[in-house]
Every structure is written in C-alpha cells, then in structure tokens.
Homo-oligomer: A and B are copies of this chain.
C-alpha cells in the first residue's frame, strides 16, 4: 500500500522517458532546471486529468462556471494580492563563489565549488538572508525599465478575482457559486522538485467558490470531501491519501483555514491539493485597491455583501504524477513479472490497442478498418502488429491501456473480436459492431483492482 519500495521513483522516471510520458525540457541543449516536456502519452494523460477535473468541477455542476484569464496581468494585481511584497524565499549568497542558497534549506545544500561540502565551506562568507521573490519578471511594451515591468502569474486565482464582477454581470448566477480555471502558472523555484512534483512552470486547476458570509464553514467542508472523493473516484488508493489540517501558525496570510489532501509519494507524504477558506480577503483588497466594488447585491433580500471564498487548488502535473505513481505495479504473475499501470480507463492515455494476430491473411487490413472506426468515435487508439501477442499485451500494460482488441481468423469469418482487459487479463468475444458501445460502457464501470499476485496470461 505505502509506495515505499526502493527504486520506485527511478523506475517511474525511466518508464516516463522510455515510453514518451515525460522528457527533460531542452534535453539536446543540456536541459533547463526543473522543467519538463510531455511526450505523446504524457500530453494525453494531462488532457484526461484536465477533462476529469473540468467535467466534475464545471460541466456537471449548475453552480460553477469556467474562466480563462491571461498569464500577464496589470502589475498592480500582484501588489494588491501581496505577491510583490511577500511571495519570496529567504536566500543567502556565498561572497566567494557567488552561489545562492535558500536560507531555510541550507542544511541540505552543498557548495558548488566543493560539492561534498556545505555552503560556505569553499571558505567564502555567507551573507545575511535576503528575500528573493519567486515571480518571474518581464517587460511589456517597447521600452524596458521599471515603467513596463510585468510578472508571469504565480497563481491563476487572481485572474478569477479580477473578473468577479464581469462574471456576475454576464452569467446568470449568484452566490453560492464558483468560477473555475485551468492554466499555466510560473514560480522561480530554486530547490529541485522530485521530478514533475514541483516545477518552474506548471498547470494549475483552481476554483474560487463565492458564498454568503456565514456559509463558509459548510462549503469548506463540502469541498474538502468532494475533492478527496474525486481522487478516489478516479482510482487513487484511499489508503495512500490523507487530509491534513494546517495549524494556525502555518496558515497563509489570506487564509482562515486550510486543509491539504496529501498523498504518500515514494519520497514521503506530500501535498496533492489544498482547500483554503480565504474569507473576504481577496475581494476586499481588490475593491480597495482598484476602486471597483467587488460585492454582491441580492435583488430579493436587498442585501449587499462581500462574499467569502472557498478555494480548492491543485496542480494538473502533480495530479498526473500521482495517478502515474498510484497506478504503477510490478505485478508478480505465476511465471514472471509484469509492469502495469492500473489507470482508470478515463485517465489512461491510450484507451484501446488493436492487434492483428498475424501480419498476413488480411488481418492488418481488417484491424486498420476497426482502428479507423474507433478513431472516428474519438477514442485514443494504438495499432501494433509487431511481435507475439503476449509481448504486445505487456507493452500496453506498461503504458496502462485498459483494452486490447485482437483481430484473428474468427474476425474475418464471423466479424467478432477478442477484447482483453488489462487488470483482470480476462478476455471476452464481441461482435465488431458492439465494440465502441462496449468500451464506452466498460470505461464507466471500472473498479480499482486489488493488488495481489495473478496467475493468468
């Protein structure tokens, strides 16, 4: 249950590169720190995670609408939000070798001149800690200089607060209601981040849920439960998840309360998502700073108030990593071991693989015909005709494809195919015409398998 087996993280990183989930960014130029690109399987995994989040948080709900705000906003936004003043890490410099280190992580750092030694042991003196802002700075417009400084957003949440009034005025909605957004955010992180767990650019999924004051505790509890439930509904092991309540001194300056959903990673418990009660902090601050009143006026009760905000905020990349780690199993079978990713079929990058049993007798042509039909249904498909069927199954297991379809002599004779399910390794025979509806149906009925030795295949 606890994913603490040795080398697990190394095995996953290696699988990610070998199979096309995640590559080091700018690898051919030596890479760039804490930055990754997502390959053919990785981008499909991210798409599934985003669709699962958006579908549940926006599409299925009548009280949440979406938004897509710009990455570069007016610089005053980040003054008001507190990011210009306070979004920083304390750093110390070595006066001799000029290296810079996080003051609160200096115990774990090493001197770049003498990597076996602690910072400062190159005989340089360390400066006093100074605050280093984590926002990326740039210049907008034709002139460089302080007048044109702008920032890459460090969170998507502020774009939502900025549009609170626009959404109220245009959508037919009133508190309690939410505005949700998925998009890239940027933080100039200094410390390395356990693969894609913490990266300089990352895709956030945030939702600000605006409620009448006094209803905040109820909705806070609702969203903690609902977000926990989402992870388990998509197959994450509930025993590897826990809720952690922030204590008073740990709370961010804007938060009345925060609870994290944590996952037991190979490197220990880590934050998967945070649910915060932000009170009326953001709307009040932006009202004051911008001069635009960000309040709600209830036509029926004639009440005017600043809504309180409950915010579930997670990272798509971290969610994807978590689905990957949680799905990963080196499963002991009777005669051998298989590597298998037990993804929920709605999360799996490839939904169905199709194999001609042999590369002749018209089987590849028939398999391509069925492939085209599956693709027209907008299912994610992989065609494979290389090697023994058993090896092809294993290749698909390793990338988590839930269904493998084999075209054989019977297909040519009777228009039936064999479908092999990834987790149980059981097979069923189906008419070709039933294949698409059968797969769509089966995707909805998946259950997380027990992780125990299997004896088939």
Contact = CB atoms under 8 A, between A and B. Distances in A.
A71 interface: yes
Given A38-B67, A70-B36, A167-B40, A382 B172 contact: yes
A18 interface: yes
A290 interface: yes
A39 B201 CA distance: 23
Nearest to A91: B142
- Majority-rule SS of A interface residues: mixed
Contacts of A43: 66-68, 181
A62 B385 CA distance: 14
Interface stretch (A157-165, A225-233, A257-265, A408-416): A157-165
Interface size band for A: 35 or more
A28 interface: yes
Nearest to A385: B172
A425 interface: no
A245 B72 CA distance: 35
A388 interface: no
Nearest to A351: B59
Contacts of A150: 32
A111 interface: no
B35 A76 contact: no
A67 B349 CA distance: 12
A69 B37 contact: yes
B20 A200 contact: no
Contacts of A291: 28
A19 interface: yes
Given A60-B376, A142-B91, A375-B59, A66 B40 contact: yes
A85 interface: no
Interface of A: 17-20, 23, 25-33, 35-44, 46-47, 54-55, 59-62, 65-74, 76-77, 91, 98, 100, 132, 136-143, 150, 152, 159, 162-163, 165-167, 170-172, 179, 181, 184, 186, 188, 190, 200-201, 286, 289-292, 294, 368, 371, 375-376, 378-384, 386
Given A39-B167, A43-B181, A72-B186, 8 more contacts: A20-B166, A25-B69, A28-B292, A29-B289, A39-B67, A60-B378, A62-B381, A136-B139
28 contacts: A17-B170, A25-B69, A25-B70, A25-B74, A26-B77, A27-B163, A27-B166, A28-B291, A28-B294, A29-B162, A30-B74, A32-B70, A32-B72, A32-B74, A37-B159, A37-B162, A39-B163, A39-B167, A40-B179, A59-B380, A60-B375, A60-B378, A62-B368, A132-B142, A139-B188, A141-B190, A142-B190, A152-B152
